[in-house]
Amino acid sequence: MSSTKRWILVTGATAGIGYSTAEMFAKNGDNIIITGRREDKLKELADKLQKDYNVEVIYYAFDIKLKSEVLKFVDEIKSKNITPDLLVNNAGLSRGLDKIQDASIDDWEEMIDTNIKGLLYITRLVVEMMVKVDKGHIINLGSIAAYQPYTGGSVYNATKFAVRAISDAINLDLVDTKIRVTAVHPGMVDTEFSTVRFGGDKDRANSVYNGIDTLTADDIADIIFYVASLPERVNVQHIMVTPTQQRSINAINRNNIFK
């Protein structure tokens, strides 16, 4: 499979930031590889991108926290002679908002396995491919939680602090290459994030965003596209972005001033 277009690999593309990011790059003529756990959603997105933007789209349904599945996926793209030009590590989640003494250990393990280990598995294998051609870009989705811990967020905070540290360390590892590494750290974005955190409780999830003109998935996709489109000499290492009504984890104005 050959093409002069870039190949953009987006994990966690079935909804939210991942979905918007895949569409943003397809709209601009890039070929897309999308991954996630929900095969029906991936197929739906792949069909849409191919129809609307006339680009090649490959989708793979697997759970990124399973190392064997990540290895199988990377072998598949290698068999197609594809080295991603950009890896967007978007797959991630939060579970619960309980204090340390009440939290679920199963929830902790899911967050650690997905947000840290899954990111590491796929990054390790894709960066190896990029180094061979001395070209590529890694964009990791972090969070404002990578800088500011909050009550009930102990393990989620830890996973996003880890994403921030991993991004810094990879930048150092790759200093002798042309491969760039960026971490994007959003504040409040109205996606499925809180619904997943609260086990599908949409009322509780919606209450998180009451009175706030939040960031959208498209806002973050715009930022990712901008960073990835800068000249090769430019390496944006970190970006933190919040709604105007949010200046930190807890400094929030809920007066609905933009609606």
Residues annotated catalytic, as ranges: 156
User: Is residue 167 within 8 Å of residue 237, measured between CB atoms?
Assistant: yes
Q: Are strands 86-89 and 57-61 parallel, antiparallel or unpaired?
A: unpaired
Residue 193: both structure tokens together: 């994030």
Residue 113: both structure tokens together: 């396995």
> DSSP label at 98?
-
Distance CA 2, CA 195 (A): 40
Identify the three-state secondary structure at position 84.
coil
Q: Where are the beta strands (DSSP E) in the chain?
A: 7-10, 31-36, 57-61, 86-89, 137-141, 180-186, 238-241
Task: Residue 205: name the closest of 101, 105, 94, 112 by CA.
Answer: 94
CA angle (3, 235, 143) in 5-degree steps = 100
> DSSP label at 252?
B
The DSSP annotation for 115-182 comes to IIIIHHHHHHHHHHHHHHHT--EEEEE--GGGT---TT-HHHHHHHHHHHHHHHHHHHHTTTSS-EEE
